[in-house]
Amino acid sequence: MRPALRAGRDLGFWTLCFLALAVVVAPSLAMVGTLLQQAGPALSLHLLTATTANNGLQNAILGSLLIMLGVLVVAGPIGILGGIYLAEFAPAARAGVLRLGYETLAGVPSIVIGFVGYVLLAQALHWGFSLLSGILALSAIVLPYVVKTTEVALLQVPSTLRDAGLALGLSRLTTLRRALLPPAVPAIASGLVLALAIAVGETAPLLYTLGFSDQDPSLSLFQHPIGYLTYVVYLNATLPTRLEHEVAGAAGLATLLLILALIGIGRLASRRAARFRAQLPT
Amino acid sequence: MSFFPAAQGTGRRAGPLPIRRPIRLRDADLTRRDRLARSGLLLAAGIPTAMLILIAAEMVVQSLPAFRYAGWGFFTGRVFSFGNLYVTKLQVQNGVSAPHGATYGAFTFIFGTLVSSVIALLVALPLAVGAVLALTERVPVRLQSTVSIFFELLAGIPSVVYGFWGILVLGPLLAAHLYPVLGRLGAVVPFFRGPVGYGEGLLTASLILTLMIVPIIATTTRELVRGVPILAKEGALALGMTRYETARVVTLPYVRRGIWAAALLGWARALGETMAVLLVSGNLLNGLPANIFSPFSTMAATIVAMLDSALTDATGMAVHALAALGVVLLVITVATNLLGRLIIRRVTGGAVLPVGRGI
């Protein structure tokens, strides 16, 4: 083949690839831009001091923080303990089954989880639209993620540490607590934080479990619907006026900031985890 | 987001998990506290699986009356109506009673779900692979992590924000500039024929879905591409191949199967996506989209859109009908997801696929 033709193909191919890269990068910037532009006029302290009834976001921000806390309390321990079992205690066959279980759960569409949450928790158990229904639905969504990150974090701890602990006559539990968990903690924490980032951006599983309220969240677990940020985006996006779109933009921006902050913390933690691991024997 | 647990920020290549001898614990090796802890941990580890079984069982139980009522018509019928919820008159079909006039035909939603997600996948696959090749092979190493932030941003943006941007910016933009051009294809392809609409419809939803699944395919592809043996690439370049030829002959064949797996995973995500589609789909009930630009709806979006009114059905059949939609959706997504994971397990022997919302 003529060299010029080959060079031309090379150029053409990479031009297309960079074009693809641009097509991926541009929308992410455009979305942030749109949020800023929509939210712009509404950005003021009013957002923090008024509830959604008066075009503020106070109740929604508090609600989102509250469900994050709830997910942290429910999915955190369960996921971490489950991950520890899979990495350190599970016989291979059983680990395979359980892994299949959580990976499949991760593939369940979020609206299906929301639907079951509604039918089972809100209706059958008579919890109504409530904090607990919402937290459990969200936990089902992020749990696989927490389990997986914990499992992987422990698997990345050099096996020599495990052997050393056992060779010293320590019990499995002590080996785990003293030798294996400390180096794995940053990676586990980073996974947990990223799981919260997923949770705070979700809407579908909450629509019929958490409901929505214009008032500041009550701390009651049952029967009290709670407002949250993504719902404000969803609702106001479909409303016609400029002001409503501004609030939608502000809510979207607040959600995104929360998520980005969490991602940032997660990154710091995982960088620390990497540094930590680099110091360990292999 | 580098939601790729194995890859997070490590200088180390992610790739498959470190291979470890299987754990074989003899009970005698364990202290009593060990054994106690093990049972407790097993309980926690079983919860996701238990949740899965509970969710699947509950969906099936909820859906059965609707499937019995509608029969095969559920899959072939094009009219999905809860019937007259304000009259006490009932209609009995196959021994199951529902409000008068109720018909549960889900074909249009099944069609909408499949077509929108397939279009999204067809666009997202080359886009993601091309972008990753540009990123890993051509962008200078010190800029790479900066550029990948945009992938993480794309993965991190909540789906309602995608929808908000879709109705406000992308839809009108495409309807004004891109769709009239695409509409000329109507001369050849009937599905492109007709009015291009105002930007809420099948194609807009598919393109939004495209953006949502690009990060899933891209992160997986990136890890796979980084795993390609450097010697093979250098060998190809040393033979005088261009970088394009190296990519085509060495890199892509090496990662091909993994990319299929990533594509399946992305597809599963597109199938189940709810909020963004709900906002930009135009929510057409009871009809197939006239062309690729016109409004439509998916199973997931319909569940959200109609659950409110379904709750007012005193016979409860409307909720059962939505559960039936959910079951069909569940079966399709879970099958796709599992197939993807099966493939990637074969390819890399480890858990390289992201878990969670694409991430």
As a whole number, mean pLDDT of residues A84-95 equals: 87
Instruction: State the best of B4, B33, B52 to mutate against chain A, taking most chain A CBs within 10 Å.
Output: B52
Predicted pLDDT at B328: 94
Statement: residue A282 has pLDDT above 70: no
Residues of A whose CB is below 8 A from B169: 30, 34
At residue B12, the pLDDT reads 39
A31 to chain B, closest Cα gap in Å = 6
User: Which of A110, A120, A245 faces B274 most closely, judged by CB atoms?
Assistant: A110
Nearest chain B Cα distance for residue A227, angstroms: 15
List pLDDT tens digits, range B273-316: 899 999 998 888 878 888 888 888 999 999 999 888 888 887 88
User: B255: distance to nearest CA of chain A, Å?
Assistant: 17
Query: What is the identity of the amino acid at B246?
Result: T
What is the pLDDT, as a whole number, of residue A226? 87
Interface test with B, best of A2, A16, A17, A271 (most B CBs within 10 A): A17
Please answer yes or no on whether B161 and A16 come within 8 Å at the CB atom: no
Mean pLDDT across A130-152: 92
Report the alpha-carbon distance of residue B259 to residue B266 in Å, rounded.
Answer: 10
Note whether A198 contacts B59, CB cutoff 8 Å.
Answer: no
Domain map of chain A by residue range?
Answer: 1-42, 45-279
A92 contacts B51? CB cut-off 8 A: no
- Which fold does the domain A45-279 belong to in CATH? MetI-like fold (1.10.3720)
Tokens, residue A152: 């992987």
- What domains lie within chain B, and their CATH numbers? 105-348 (1.10.3720.10)
Listed as ranges, residues in chain B with pLDDT below 70 are 1-28, 348-359
Q: Residue B169 has what DSSP assignment? A: I
CA angle B120, B125, B130 (to 5 degrees): 135
**d(Cα B217, Cα B255) in Å, to the nearest integer?**
12
Best of A100, A151, A154, A234 to mutate (most B CBs within 10 Å, chain B): A234
**Strand duo B90-93 + B96-99: pairing:** antiparallel
Give the distance from residue A161's alpha carbon to the nearest chain B alpha carbon, in angstroms.
13
The pLDDT assigned to B353 comes to 54
Q: Which residues of A touch B243 (CB under 8 A)?
A: 10, 14
Q: What percent of chain A has pLDDT over 90?
A: 38
pLDDT at A143 over 90: yes
Asked if A16 has any chain B CB less than 8 Å from its own CB, the reply is: yes
The reply to whether residue A105 touches residue B323, judged by beta carbons under 8 angstroms, is no
Neighboring chain B residues of A202 at a CB cutoff of 8 Å: 158, 357
Total beta-carbon pairs less than 8 A apart between chain A and chain B: 345
CA distance A216 to chain B (A): 22
Distance CA B74, CA B110 (A): 10
Confidence (pLDDT) at B350: 52
Say yes or no: A276 contacts chain B, CB-CB below 8 A. Answer: no
Interface test with B, best of A86, A103, A277 (most B CBs within 10 A): A103
Report the Cα B69 to chain-centroid distance in Å.
30
Residues A238, B279: C-beta atoms closer than 8 Å: yes
A103/B128 touch (CB, cutoff 8 Å), yes or no:
no
Q: Taking a contact as any Cβ pair under 8 Å apart, which residues of chain A between 54 and 93 contact chain B?
A: 77-79, 81-86, 88-92
**Rounded (5°) CA angle B167-B287-B328:** 85
3-state helix vs strand vs coil in chain A, percent to 5: 80, 0, 20
Nearest CA in chain A to B13: A274
Distance from the B172 Cα atom to the nearest Cα atom in chain A, whole angstroms: 14
A261 touches chain B (CB under 8 A): no
Chain B CB within 8 Å of residue A96 CB: no
CB spacing of B168 vs A82 below 8 angstroms: no
Tell me: the pLDDT tens digits for A202-249?
898 998 888 888 887 887 878 888 889 999 999 888 888 888 888 889
Task: With beta carbons under 8 A apart, name residues in chain A contacting B9.
Answer: 267, 270-271, 273-274
How many angstroms separate the CA atoms of B125 and B206, rounded? 13
Q: Do A23 and B127 touch (CB under 8 A)?
A: yes
Sequence-separated (6 or more) residues with CB below 8 Å from residue A52: A59, A60, A214, A227, A232, A247
The answer to whether the CB atoms of B157 and A201 lie below 8 A apart is yes
Q: What is the 3-state secondary structure (H, E, C) of A67-113?
A: HHHHHHHHHHHHHHHHHHHHHHHCCHHHHHHHHHHHHHHHHCCHHHH
Distance from CA of A193 to the nearest CA of B (A): 11
What pLDDT, on a 0 to 100 scale, did the predictor assign at position B25?
60
Of A10, A30, A278, the CB nearest to B169: A30
